[in-house]
């Protein structure tokens, strides 16, 4: 079967930015309650801790639904699946905005998380399909640009919107954005057929494909390290006298991450392995620097910038490597990535919290160091499958196999 693929030498920016907007909505929908805890707890007459579970059940929805929903929709036309996820955000954010019952709100949040899980398993493969193989990395970088923007702006945006218009209106605004996105997708995003039954690869077969487990292991170690620090960034920067500058710290991180995405888009197709190694090595060096000098404000700011620079392109790099390794099983592999990524978020919060309570913030950098060294070792050993040496060839090989 011939795979439908756009072979133009130009990136379809309108379509790719629609995918980026989808990712932005995924992240902002997830993090929005964190900036609105006080208003939500007052509005629903619950504690702040109970309001915080709106984030937990969202992540749980993504974790549990990504793989089964991806497998169930493999044969659907791709744009229909994309629209399904966006309509899910429209419906469940609207329910959240209107609900006055805590249980209903949690169900809506879980379902919104399920929509996100399906979206994340779809976006990278969709972006790759729009372009010729040698442009796949750049296309994914554009499609992922919404993620660091949302990560750096999600919580402060929620806080600002809550103060300006109330928490319900903030969720209502997200619904309005999804309506705009639906029109955008219909106007700009091309449609492609799903996989025929004969083409579909089972979950176990994808997992056993050479390179897939190596990439997923790096996702776990890298993202676990990242989330241990990112989740507890406020207490971590406090010894350096930056307790009142957390928003500025996150802004520095976000700006560096955006720069990283631009750099990654230029390098991912020709130097994927090297960029992964350099990114992990830079984060490892920063973990060591933080371990030795975490009480120094200048060191913290420099470290935060380099950390953001090393992290911004991570989603593009890892998803490109995973999709290349999985070949025809890319969508299933990317749904596994959603599970591993969200598991790392949860494990990072849990492990970081234990270290914070039992030892203190000084323990975080050393835990990061161990994880990142493990990630570096995996990448170094995966030179044949997972993170092969030389210029990317997997995308071209996959296309050739379909001719």
- The reply to whether the predicted model has a pTM over 0.85 is no
**pLDDT tens, residue by residue, 319-370:** 889 988 988 888 888 889 988 988 888 788 788 888 888 888 899 999 999 9
Q: Please give the domain boundaries of the chain with CATH numbers for all domains.
A: 13-199 (1.20.1250.20), 203-401 (1.20.1250.20)
Confidence of residue 92 (pLDDT cuts 50, 70, 90): very high
> For residue 178, what pLDDT is reported?
96
**How many C-beta neighbours within 10 Å does residue 12 have?**
19
Which of the pair, 27 or 159, is modelled with greater confidence?
Answer: 27
pLDDT of residue 395: 45
pLDDT of residue 5: 52
Does the structure show a pLDDT above 60 at 248? yes
- Is 50 exceeded by the pLDDT of residue 389? yes
The answer to whether residue 100 scores a pLDDT higher than 80 is: yes
Percent of the chain whose predicted confidence (pLDDT) is above 70: 92
Q: What integer best gives the mean pLDDT of the chain?
A: 86
């Amino acid at each position: 079967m011939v795979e439908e693929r756009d072979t133009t030498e130009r990136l379809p920016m309108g379509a790719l930015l629609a995918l980026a907007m989808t990712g932005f909505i995924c992240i902002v929908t997830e993090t929005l309650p964190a900036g609105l805890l006080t208003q939500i707890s007052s509005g629903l007459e619950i504690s702040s801790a109970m309001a915080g579970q709106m984030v937990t059940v969202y992540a749980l929805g993504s974790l549990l639904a990504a793989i089964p929903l991806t497998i169930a929709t493999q044969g659907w036309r791709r744009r229909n699946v994309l629209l399904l996820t966006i309509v899910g955000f429209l419906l469940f954010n609207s329910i959240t905005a209107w609900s006055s019952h805590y249980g209903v709100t949690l169900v809506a949040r879980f379902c919104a998380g399920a929509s996100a899980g399906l979206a994340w398993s779809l976006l990278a493969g969709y972006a790759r399909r729009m372009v010729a193989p040698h442009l796949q990395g750049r296309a994914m970088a554009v499609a992922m640009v919404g993620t660091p923007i949302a990560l750096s702006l999600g919580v402060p945006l929620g806080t600002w919107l809550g103060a300006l218009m109330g928490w319900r209106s903030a969720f209502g605004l997200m619904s309005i954005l999804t309506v705009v996105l639906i029109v955008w997708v219909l106007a700009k995003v091309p449609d492609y057929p799903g996989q025929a039954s004969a083409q579909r690869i089972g979950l176990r077969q994808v997992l056993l494909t050479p390179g897939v487990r190596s990439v997923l292991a790096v996702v776990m170690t890298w993202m676990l390290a990242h989330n241990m620090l990112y989740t507890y960034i406020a207490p971590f920067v406090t010894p350096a006298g930056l307790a009142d500058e957390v928003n500025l710290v996150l802004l520095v991180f976000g700006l560096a991450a955006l720069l990283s995405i631009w750099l990654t888009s230029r390098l991912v197709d020709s130097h994927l392995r090297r960029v992964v190694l350099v990114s992990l090595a830079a984060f490892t060096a920063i973990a060591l620097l933080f371990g030795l000098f975490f009480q120094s404000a200048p060191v913290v700011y420099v470290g935060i910038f380099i950390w953001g620079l090393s992290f911004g392109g991570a989603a593009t790099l890892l998803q490109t490597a995973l999709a290349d390794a999985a070949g025809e099983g890319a969508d299933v592999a990317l749904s596994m990535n959603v599970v591993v990524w969200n598991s790392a978020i949860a494990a990072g919060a849990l492990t970081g919290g234990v270290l914070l309570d039992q030892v203190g913030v000084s323990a975080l950098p050393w835990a990061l160091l161990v994880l990142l060294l493990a990630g570096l070792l995996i990448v170094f050993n995966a030179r044949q499958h997972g993170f092969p040496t030389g210029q990317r060839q997997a995308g071209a090989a996959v296309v050739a196999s379909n001719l």
